Amino acid sequence: LALVLYQKKGSTWRKTIYEATENICTLVKNDKDFWPLIQKASNMSRYCPLKKGYYVVRDAVLKINSVPPVISKGCYRITISILTPKNEAVARVHLYGTVSKADASDLPTCNF
């Protein structure tokens, strides 16, 4: 699993300083926030290895109460790629969101 964070600048998505790679089975086993959300909103397995086939994720909402200080307010896209052992992408998901003040008084206009 590879994750890349992009920030929208004008009409262009630019890669930020955050990238991560994680074994998907480690994520399935250990993650307490993201993976349970995906399981509730999809037909994804709770166990590894994941079976070959089609998976559907619908209406998943992830609310995060704090972000690292290096993440400024703005419009963001997280691209998650599921890779084979040879680093070939077999699935790609784009998640969109905004970062603003806690009361959302300065919510950016993102036009995703």
55-108 pLDDT, tens digit per residue, is 887 777 766 677 777 788 889 999 989 888 888 888 888 888 888 776 666 777
Q: Is 20 helix (H, G, I), strand (E, B) or coil?
A: strand
* pTM for this predicted structure: 0.72
Whose CA is closest to 5, among 57, 80, 72?
A: 80
Contact 93, 79 (CB under 8 A): yes
CA 79, CA 4: separation in Å to the nearest integer? 5
25-58 pLDDT, tens digit per residue, is 888 888 887 788 888 888 887 788 877 788 887 7
Whose CA is closest to 75, among 60, 96, 94?
A: 96
